[in-house]
A and B are shown apart, each in its own frame.
Chain A
């Protein structure tokens, strides 16, 4: 039988983590295998072709398409400056003020003069683009003309949802427990340049205080959808994020609403307080899912048992720690008590595969298997 899909987000104390750092177009790689880099070091660079400007010369000159070529003051490949004349009509009766001139709206080059359309295509100068290492670590592979693969031994935590792109900073734990709601009064000027750790929720005012005080990132158990709308100024329809410009990066570990951060996640982040973390809020929930990430490199001299990033876990087993990810017990954590094989009818009358979960207070409940996620060890 096909496996039931049981999503699980990684929360790992130490793992070997690899990250591809590639350019959007082919270019030049400027580091070599074995280089030990910090996050801000540039690893590869290239130039993006400039933007294109189409000039409707035939219309502006009031001539026939075939005549455009002979009225051009510049030819294909010539450099042009903004305001420079690129084409002009012949002076009428030798009077220059009766002459029509077409000026370039940009600095760039003449790429094409089309006889078919009578248009002139100008292109702006190429834009330099560079890509940095993003994590503190070692270059383990060069992808020729494209980029590198970075490797580090780190604490690795996946969030469920995030906004904002790549950033890095020192971890500072603000919440005293994973259940605490992070409010503005606890966020002081010493969060500048830091990635701050909250508990079950961060309020909108808390977010504003973090921004005002110069925090680079926030990690929180929950976030209210109405606050997210206020932050972005729009309602997110489809979960494709990472390019928002809200002044910092936000990673949510559990979901929307007031949900305690999982103890394991909170304790792990607390144990790494003061370390440098690289985080990215980019989320894509569709085929080829991307979740937000928190990478906290270890000093490589420290010895530890390393969990492989590629280790595949089997299906769910009795005793596994799980989190319920849909009502009625949304956010609660418990242990798998039974895994019945037959389909069962739940309250909505859907006939589904279920499991019995036991909570800390000893009570047990039946929930659909699709509505739980394994908390990975």
Chain B
């Protein structure tokens, strides 16, 4: 375990992605940590280089050129800092080589297997498949599947402590029969973590002890009513470093350089989301939409969940977004007509040439329509997995007898969401920030009052791992440099007829001026409320009088008083389009509708969005 540095004035952080290695420099100035420079270079895990440290050094070299500070002595990072040379800490995350790919197994699909899936996802893994005793697949089908997928690691759970042994043992037999071989390197045994029934340990040892690198840890579901995911998550990350990463080219060297253990990129993003949620005592949802995958993170009342939608992304997986969302759903966000054949060919061409960018406005509008659908689908998947524990008996009174709502309902309550954080190229690099805000509003449909932000330059992974050595540095940089404050979305819940009144509202602006207006159904409104001299959001107070068909935060028809809303580079968006949001089924009216929404937020130059 690397030692924490004593002095911490200059920090260098890298994220080794599948294609690009991104480096940032963080410096302490006037007792405040700020991100000062960034550099990037192609990742060098694959042939002909096959050494991740080459890309890392290239990205650091770029910061050296920009900052004039010397970091490298030959192939070594100078530590600690002195004057204009060296750093006090070097940290890194990695998703190179496809990240951590796992299979999980549990006795019952909706109970221990689902807990195992949550444990693996929370540790930053891609879950390739979930095996369960009751998943309706025959044993030989399970065995074929394990062999075919070649996971980096397997998490086996099953049974509460003192519960079923035979189901767990059966799964162990299946895994032993498959005898999966590691993806990288053939000289080591594949790690398997057993986090199930304490009484099944000996049986699991007998089946798997010789064949695989077996690690035993606490049960992820010791009793039905409680999950205990952390020990398994830590073991997964430990095994990831010791076995999987150590086999990837150049990682042993990289691991010897870092001041904190290298983390899988999504685990680091999850950590910063959790830190923010805990520090500010708010419920947060974060999303990172990439070319191949979309990750969704949520932290609700201290319960953290992460999901990864492996085939929802805007380049490699863009064609899959169309396949899953269907054409009408994509087109409902595009304010012009286009021939279906032409659109399909365009999307396929983006898939086979994933690095191209939209030059024309129409292309940007199509891409942002696809982004809305990718985000929506990824969020739907997240809601399905971020649930309360299933199989837990609930106490019911006589009045509940006819209302048998199932256990395992989603934890995601949009009314209780305080902050939405967006990240990934299509959100972080949208030509106008309004576009990012509207994409997130349309996809996530926040309810009542929600604060909206985006990651400026994809810095969240770096800051996540930074929390391991300094939470202060991580939060200061997050607040000042990482996050772009977009503003607040105010969206009463309910539906009505086009043009009907949703509510009267009154906003008391920081300069004392008053906005007193009506919000009608189907309408979007924007009120400017920006940032103060420290580039932090200005605050205003809102009072809302919704009609009886709408709930603005306190219940249907109930007045909301003195709620603080915060501004940003976009401002306050009053969303009267109702929830769930519905676009007009008539093609011409829908195009007009979208054009008018785009125009209110001034999302696009005149020719496109409002033409």
Contact = CB atoms under 8 A, between A and B. Distances in A.
B344 interface: yes
B174 A288 contact: no
Given A112-B177, A350-B364, A371-B356, 18 more contacts: A7-B353, A114-B173, A118-B166, A121-B173, A161-B352, A225-B347, A285-B316, A287-B46, A330-B349, A348-B358, A348-B359, A348-B361, A349-B364, A350-B358, A352-B357, A367-B359, A370-B355, A370-B356
A80 interface: no
A235 B607 CA distance: 33
Interface string A54-79: 10000000000100000000000000
B301 interface: no
A3 interface: yes
A40 B497 CA distance: 70
26 contacts: A2-B20, A2-B39, A2-B62, A5-B355, A52-B140, A52-B177, A54-B140, A116-B166, A116-B203, A116-B206, A225-B345, A237-B311, A239-B352, A255-B345, A255-B352, A255-B353, A287-B19, A288-B46, A325-B353, A326-B349, A328-B359, A347-B361, A349-B361, A349-B431, A350-B364, A371-B357
B351 interface: yes
Given A160-B353, A239-B316, A348-B360, A117 B170 contact: yes
Interface of B: 18-20, 39-42, 45-46, 58-59, 62, 96-98, 138-140, 143-144, 165-166, 169-170, 173-174, 177-178, 203, 206-207, 292, 311, 316-317, 319-320, 322-324, 341-342, 344-364, 429, 431-432, 604-605, 607
A286 B292 contact: yes
A333 B262 CA distance: 45
A179 B198 CA distance: 69
Nearest to B200: A116
Nearest to B65: A1
A343 to B, nearest CB: 12
B360 A111 contact: no
B301 to A, nearest CB: 35
Contact of B349 (A1, A2, A112, A325): A325
Interface string A127-161: 00000000000000000000000000000000011
Instruction: State the majority secondary structure of interface residues on A.
Output: loop
Given A256-B345, A347-B361, A348-B431, A238 B19 contact: no
Contact of A326 (B18, B46, B356): B356
A238 B349 contact: no
Given A52-B177, A348-B364, A368-B357, A285 B140 contact: no
Contacts of B607: 347
A225 B346 CA distance: 9
A325 B178 CA distance: 44
Interface string A1-33: 111010100000000000000000000000000
Nearest to A288: B46
A367 B363 CA distance: 14
Contacts of A325: 349, 353, 356
Instruction: State the majority secondary structure of interface residues on B.
Output: helix
A268 B346 CA distance: 28
Given A160-B353, A367-B359, A226 B316 contact: no
A257 interface: yes
Given A225-B341, A256-B352, A238 B316 contact: yes
B166 A327 contact: no
A325 B431 CA distance: 21
Interface in A308-356: 325-328, 330, 346-352
Nearest to A283: B352
Contacts of B59: 2
Contact of B169 (A114, A236, A238): A114
A98 B561 CA distance: 80
Nearest to A350: B431
Given A3-B42, A224-B345, A237-B323, A328 B360 contact: yes
A65 B169 CA distance: 12
B173 A349 contact: no
Contact of A370 (B345, B349, B357): B357
Contacts of B97: 287
Interface string A278-300: 00000101111000000000000
A117 B207 CA distance: 11
Given A52-B143, A225-B345, A327 B363 contact: yes
A235 B173 contact: no
Contact of B140 (A53, A112, A350): A53
A257 B144 contact: no
A109 interface: no
Contact of B359 (A117, A121, A235, A371): A371
A119 interface: yes
A51 interface: yes
A112 B174 CA distance: 11
B408 to A, nearest CB: 28
A257 B298 CA distance: 41
B177 A226 contact: no
B357 A287 contact: no
Contacts of B347: 225
A1 B62 contact: yes
B352 A285 contact: yes
Contact of B139 (A53, A235, A327): A53
Contacts of B359: 326-328, 346-348, 350, 367-368, 371
Contacts of B19: 287
Contacts of A52: 139-140, 143, 177-178
Contacts of B322: 235
Nearest to A4: B355
B317 A237 contact: yes
Nearest to B429: A350
A2 B22 CA distance: 11
B425 to A, nearest CB: 11
Given A117-B169, A348-B363, A226 B429 contact: no
A283 B359 CA distance: 26
